[in-house]
Chains A and B, each alone.
Chain A
Amino acid sequence: MEKMTYAQAAREAVRDAMNADKSVWCVGEDLGRGGVFGQYIGLQDEFGKERIVDTPISESAIMGGAFGAAMMGTRPIVEMRFSDFALCATDELVNQIAKARFMFGGQSRAPMVVRKPMGLWRSSAAQHSQSLESWYVHIPGLVVACPATPQDNYSMMKAAIECDDPVVYLEHKNIWLLEGDVDRDQGYEFGTAVRRCEGQDVTLVSWSDTANVCEKAAATLANQNISAEVIDLRSLWPWDKNAVLESVRKTGRLVVAHESVQVGGFGGEVVATVAEHAGNALRGPVRRVGAPRSLVAYAPNLEDQMRVTEAMIVAAAKETMGL
C-alpha cells in the first residue's frame, strides 16, 4: 500500500504501463511540462519526447492521429486537457475510432485511452466544467470509465491501457488532490462496481466524484439511523447491472446521483433497468439527483446551483423512505 493522490495514482499507472510496454505513449498539449493538471510531471524526463509527445493545439489531429498510430500497433494515451475540448475531436472519436473496427469488418483495433478531465472545478464556467459521460455511453464501440478514488484511478487506468478497445477515461478535476491508499497489485475489470458502504434501507448508485459525495451522505444518513448502501459503478459501459439489481432487491429503494444534467443522464438508464428487472422489489419511489438542465456559471453562487450536494442526496434517500 502506498499513499497517493488521485492524480499521482494515474501517473503511476501510466508510468508502470510505459515501463512494461514500449508501445505505450502519451500525446497531447503541454505534456512535457507535466500537463495542465500535473498528471504527467516527470514523465518526459523519464521516457523522452518520442513517448511523451507535446503537440500543437490540434484536437482533431491529436485524437485522429493517435488512432492512426494505434492502427499501426502502438498504444496511445490521448490527453484532451478538458473534456470540453474533446468536443473539437468528436468526429474522430465517434465516427472514426468507435466505428472503424465494425465498419471494416473487424480488420482494425483502436487500443487507446482518451483522457478527458471532467466536472465542476472552481469557477471554471460553462466551457471548462461539463460532465458528458452519458453521451459516450450512447456510442457503441466505446468503453466508458469514471474513476472516483486514487485506487481506482490506478487500477482502472492500467486496465484501460491494457484494453484493446478505445476507452473514454473521465477523471474528475475536483479530486486531483484526493489522497488514498493504492495497492498496485489490485486489478480492475470493466463492468464491475464497488460497494462503497453496505446498507439495508436504500441503495445510492453513483460514479465519479458524486460517488464520494454519496459516501458522505451515507455517513450522515447512518447518524439518522438510515442504512444506505453505496454502489460506485466505476465504468458506465459496460456497467454492473447485477450489483445494482442485487442491492435494490435487498433494500427496495433507489437513489441515483450524478453531477451531469439529470435530463437524459445515465441515471435514467439505471432507473429504467431497475424498473424492468427489479420493479417488484421497489418499496418506495425512485429518486434521481442530477444537475438542472442549465449551464455552469462563473459566479460561485450560480455555479452552486448546478452542484449535486450531500444534502440533496440525503433528502432524496429520505424521500424514498417516505420521510
Chain B
Amino acid sequence: MPAVGDNTARARALLTMMERIRAFEEQAVLAAERDKLVLGAIHPSIGQEATAAGVMSNFAIDDIMLSTHRGHGHTLAKGADPLAMMRELLGRQGGCCGGKGGSMHIADFGVGMLGANGVVSANIVIATGAAHGLKMQGSDRIVVDVFGDGAINRGPFLEGLNWAVVFDLPILYVCEDNRYSATTCTADMMAGKGAAVRAEALGMRATTVDGNDALAVADATAEITARIRAGGPPEMLHALTYRRGGHTSFDPAKYKPAGEAEEQTALNDPINRLRDTLALQGLSVAEMDTIHNEAQAEMIDVLTEAAKTPFPPDNMALEDVQDIGSPAQEAY
C-alpha cells in the first residue's frame, strides 16, 4: 500500500495494476481465440479493472479474498503471480492449481485468495465463514468477498449477509455490478433497487461508488476497511461498473442495446479516466504510456512462457481428492 498523502504515487500504482489486469486479460483472450490454448470458458473483466484494483489496494496479502468466475482482476490485484495464473488458464503444470482448476477455479492461498467459483453466489457463504473463523481465532485479518449483480438473486446472498450481521464479522462484501448476468440485463430480473438496499434492509451499511473511478473505489474501500479493522460491523460496497464484452470471451453480446458498449468504451473506460486524472496531476503521457507498455510486455511474456509449460502428469487426475479413501490408492 502506498504512503498516505502520496496521491500521485497511489494513483500511479492503481494505474499500473489496472494496465496489468487489462494486459493479462487481453493475452488470455488471444490465448483463447487466436491460439486455442485456453480450452474452457474465460470470463474477462475488461472495463471493470478499477473495482479490482481499487478494492484490493486496501487489503494485505494475508487478508482473505474470495472471488467469482470473473476473477482474474481481483486475483492479480490481491498479489497472485500472473504466470501461475496464465498457466492455470492453459491447464498447465505450475498453474496456481496445478492445471486442475482453470480460469473459473483459480485460487492462490499464498496471497489469501481462497478461490474463484464456478457457482454464482456460492462464495458468499464461504467468505462469511472464513470471517467467522478469523473472528473465532481472534485474528486481525479481514475478509473481502466479491460477487456480481446477478449473485444477489440467489439464496446464499441473504444467508451470508444475515449471518455476517448476526455474528458481527470482519468482512466487506463487494457487489461488482456490471449490469449483466450472463446474457440477461440484471435489472430485468431483479425486484427492488439492488445490492445496496438489500444490504441496508439487513441492517448492513452499504456504500455505492462509481466502480469505474479507481480513486473513488480505493477511497471508499479505505474508509470501510478502516472501520472494519477497528472492529466495526460488516459492510457492503456496491461498485457500479460495466461489462464491456460478452459473458465469456466467445460471446459476441448481440443482446446489448446498440451503441451501449461503444459509448461506455469511449466515455467510461476506467484506465482512460484515471489517465485523465493523472494528467491533471502532472504525470506525463510518456510516463503513462511506459506503464502501459511495460504491462503489455509483461503479459506477452507471461503467455509465451505459459505456453511452453507442459501439461500436468496424468496421475494428478487421482491426486488431492481426499486422504482417507484416496483414489490414488483405490479408485473403484
Where the two chains meet, the residues of A that have a C-beta atom closer than 8 Å to any C-beta of B are 25, 50, 55-56, 58, 60-61, 63-74, 91-92, 95-96, 100-108, 140-143, 163-166, 190-191, 237-238
Contacts and interface: CB of A to CB of B under 8 A. Distances in A.
Contact of A107 (B107, B126, B156): B107
Contacts of B233: none
A102 B320 contact: yes
A238 B325 contact: yes
A108 B322 CA distance: 11
A74 B133 contact: yes
A212 to B, nearest CB: 24
Contacts of A55: 163
A64 B126 contact: yes
Assign chain B's interface to a size class: 35 or more
B42 to A, nearest CB: 16
Contacts of B125: 58, 60-61, 63-65, 68, 92
Interface stretch (B11-19, B71-79, B95-103, B184-192): B95-103
A97 to B, nearest CB: 9
A61 B159 contact: yes
Contacts of B95: 105
Interface string B155-196: 110011011001000000000000000000000000000000
A91 B100 CA distance: 19
A104 B159 contact: no
Contacts of A102: 100, 320-321
Contact of B159 (A50, A58, A66, A71): A58
B260 interface: no
Interface in B91-133: 95-101, 105, 107-109, 114-115, 117-119, 122, 124-133
Nearest to B162: A56
B137 interface: yes
Contacts of A103: 97, 100-101, 105, 107, 115
Contacts of B107: 103-105, 107-108
Nearest to A160: B324
A6 B39 CA distance: 51
Contacts of B6: none
A60 B159 contact: yes
B97 A105 contact: yes
B163 A65 contact: yes
A105 B324 contact: no
A95 B119 contact: yes
Nearest to B327: A140
Contact of A60 (B136, B156, B319, B320): B156
A164 B97 CA distance: 19
Contact of B129 (A68, A140, A164): A68
B136 A190 contact: no
B133 A73 contact: yes
Contacts of A92: 122, 125-126
Complex A-B, nearest 5 residue pairs according to Cβ-Cβ distance, in ascending order: A68-B129, A65-B129, A72-B133, A64-B125, A69-B133
B128 A61 contact: yes
A147 to B, nearest CB: 15
Contacts of A72: 64, 130, 133-134, 137, 139
